[in-house]
Structure formats: structure tokens, C-alpha cells
Amino acid sequence: MRKRASMFANVDVPRRGGVYSIWNHRKGNPVYVGESSNLDERIGDLMRPINHTFTRQIQKSTRIKSLERLRSYMSRRFDLSFVVLRDGRKELEEFLICYWKTFKYNKRPARYMNSDDYPLDI
């Protein structure tokens, strides 16, 4: 585990698999959920719009071109949480996307769009 020296500077992110969520700091609601086999590397990707859809979409919607200004904007507006999981990462990610339903930046998982396989009435 290493300390992040960037947007989420106060977060120790493990180099293990898991699911992460980004939260709107003011409203307290989740805005993005993702999964990764290496949380440390994936959270590091949040700093580079070319590597992460969420950051790219924030950059597009705010029209901020400077990477430093974009990082500053995001650090003031978003918080990060994660859970380390060895197995079932994709399933948990899809469950949270469908359960919370508040995401502007995630697509609803295709396999649950027209399926009776989902365990909750969402």
C-alpha cells in the first residue's frame, strides 16, 4: 500500500483488486463506480483523463484544459471509497450501479437491462 500524492492524497490505496466509488462531496451521493484488479494503479489513472472515463467526462463537462486545474477541481468536489475483493468485483460493481441508479457517468450493465437474473427489484 502506498500513500496517494494526488487528488486523493489522504487515501492509502492497496495494490490489490477491489471495487471503488467516487462520491459527490457536497451532496454525499455516489457518482461513479469502478472495479479493478489493482486499485492503486486504477486510482492513479483518475489523474489522467486519457486513462479514465470519469475524469475525461468531468474534463469535457467543465471545459477545464489544464490538468492541474482539473485535479484541483476534482479534489474539491469528489471523495473516494473502496473495498478490497479478490473475487466478485464485476458483480459488485454492476450491483452498485443498478442499486444506486444515480450515476451520470456509469452505464447500466447490459446483462441486467432486460433480464430477470437480477436479485433485487431495481
| Domain range enclosing 54 | 16-107
C-alpha distances out from residue 46 to 9, 16, 20, 29, Å: 12, 17, 11, 19
pLDDT of residue 45: 84
pLDDT of residue 112: 59
pLDDT of residue 122: 46
pLDDT of residue 5: 37
pLDDT of residue 6: 45
Asked if residue 22 lies in contact with residue 31, where contact means CB atoms within 8 angstroms, the answer is yes
The average pLDDT across 68-83 equals: 89
Residues 6+ apart with CB under 8 A from 93: 19, 33, 34, 35
| Number of domains the chain is built from | 1
Q: What is the CATH number of the domain that holds 55?
A: 3.40.1440.10
For 77-108, the pLDDT digits (tens) are 988 889 999 999 998 988 888 888 766 677 66
Is 2 within the bounds of a domain?
no
Is 5 within the bounds of a domain?
no
Nearest CA-CA partner of 15 in 28, 5, 2: 2
Is 115 within the bounds of a domain?
no
Is 3 within the bounds of a domain?
no
Name the grid cell of 43. Answer: 486510482
Is 11 within the bounds of a domain?
no
